[in-house]
């Protein structure tokens, strides 16, 4: 199986439980106070749904779909809008991989590398719009 198929199926297993997104934000917000502060006024229940979609967009772009929605995320996250620091994306990715490891019963080191390679173009695009 190629990396995008592996990740597509892994994400399907992860999304079966809403706790995946609860745990993701717990891990992500624990990675720094600066990040936690960004979500002080956020409706986290809505945010978890938006993220569910955002991760799917990254996977679909890696599978060849249009990157229009990711370019919109690049715009909302850039210095003129949410002002998300480029280095925070590494924490975002680490929190996501940690959550996949905790939730996907079929997790392997090979799958981790597949996730890294599939996330890279989407993260680079959003971060690159800073």
Output 72 or 108, the one with its CB closest to ligand HEM.
Answer: 72
Q: Which is nearer to ligand HEM, 6 or 25 (CB)?
A: 25
| Residue 126 interacts with ligand HEM (CB under 6 A): yes or no | yes
Q: Can residue 30 be called a binding residue for ligand HEM (CB under 6 A)?
A: no
CA 33 – CA 97 distance, rounded (Å): 20
Which listed residue (35, 95, 100, 129) binds ligand HEM by CB under 6 A? 35
Work out the number of other CB atoms within 10 angstroms of the CB of residue 84. Answer: 21
Is-contact 94 40, C-beta < 8 A? no
Cα–Cα distance measured from residue 40 to residue 42, given in angstroms and rounded to the nearest whole number: 6
Q: How far apart are CA 130 and CA 122, in angstroms?
A: 13
User: According to CB under 6 A, which one of 80, 82, 94, 124 is a site residue for ligand HEM?
Assistant: 82
Among the listed residues 84, 96, 81, the one whose alpha carbon sits nearest the alpha carbon of residue 128: 84
Q: Which one among 50, 65, 124, 128 touches ligand HEM, defined by CB under 6 A?
A: 50
Q: Is position 73 an interface residue for ligand HEM (rule: CB under 6 A)?
A: yes
Phi and psi at residue 42, to the nearest 5°: -95, 140
Q: How far apart are CA 69 and CA 20, in angstroms?
A: 23
Q: Interface with ligand HEM by CB under 6 A: which range of 3-11, 15-23, 76-84, 102-110?
A: 76-84
Question: What is the contact surface with ligand HEM in residues (CB under 6 A)?
Answer: 35, 38-39, 41-42, 47, 50-51, 53-54, 58, 73, 76-77, 82, 84, 88-89, 92, 123, 126
């Amino acid at each position: 199986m190629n990396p995008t198929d592996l990740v597509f199926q892994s994400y399907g297993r992860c999304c079966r439980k809403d706790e995946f997104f609860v745990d993701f934000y717990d891990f992500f917000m624990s990675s720094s106070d600066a990040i936690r502060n960004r979500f002080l006024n956020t409706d986290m229940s809505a945010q978890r749904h938006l993220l569910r979609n955002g991760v799917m967009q990254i996977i679909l772009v890696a599978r060849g779909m249009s990157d229009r929605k990711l370019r919109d995320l690049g715009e909302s996250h850039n210095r003129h809008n949410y002002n998300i620091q480029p280095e925070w994306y590494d924490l975002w990715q680490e929190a996501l991989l940690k959550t996949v490891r905790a939730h996907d019963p079929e997790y392997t080191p090979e799958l981790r590398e597949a996730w890294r390679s599939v996330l890279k173009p989407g993260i680079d695009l959003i971060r690159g719009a800073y």
